[in-house]
Amino acid sequence: MAAALFALALLLYLGLDFPEASTAQSSYAARSDTAVEISYGSAIKLMHERTKFRLHSHDVPYGSGSGQQLVTSFPNVDDANSYWIVRPQPDTSAKQGHPITHGTIVRLQHMKTRKWLHSHLHASPITGNLEVSCFGGEGESDTGDHWMLEIEGSGKTWRQNQRIRLRHIDTGGYLHSHDRKYTRIAGGQQEVCGVGDKRPDNVWLAAEGVYLPVSLPK
């Protein structure tokens, strides 16, 4: 009941009118024949495959580098600051509910702060890799918010059980996390950064979320 009420509240918050949207709680291990397909407009959590932490942000700036909004990975499953809305690249024909395929450029909008998952050439605070931040807002987005979806394995359409990588268009860095943690402002949370090569630590899976029904482009 609590999950259903939360899903309804989330849909109302996002201004979405999809009563048949699928709510998934910890179902990232679903079988391939039943896994929920991810479409534009869905609000999801991305789970780091190796550490099981969720991609996360909140209204706290980096103390170095760009000074933009901090992005981390977070250990608790039920934190609302780990929801991201999957959006298409601007000026394309993609619409809410359309499926997302391998090689597509997507944007991830942080649900709470409405800023975009972003990267650039500033150094990340712990490892000195590429900093990943949240930046911009409604009506304010640039190519630093663009990420290419790379699906691992044979699947061509993004589904909940698929291992994926997100490669940043401007820098070429893969969205990455590891078990090195912050000790002060974001104590216990893992650094998220960009790295230029494929590694086991830049694999993610779609986990909990509100998944909108797929409507195929006409």
**pLDDT tens per residue, range 11-57:** 434 444 443 456 654 333 334 446 899 999 999 999 999 999 999 99
Q: Rounded to whole angstroms, how far apart are CA atoms 198 and 164?
A: 11
Q: Rounded to whole angstroms, how far apart are CA atoms 85 and 16?
A: 12
With a pLDDT cut of 90, the percent of the chain lying above it is: 75
pLDDT digits (tens, 9 = 90+) for 102-122: 999 999 999 999 999 999 999
Q: Rounded to whole angstroms, how far apart are CA atoms 193 and 13?
A: 29
CB distance 151 to 173 below 8 Å: no
Q: Which two tokens stand for residue 15?
A: 């201004």
Mean pLDDT of the chain: 87
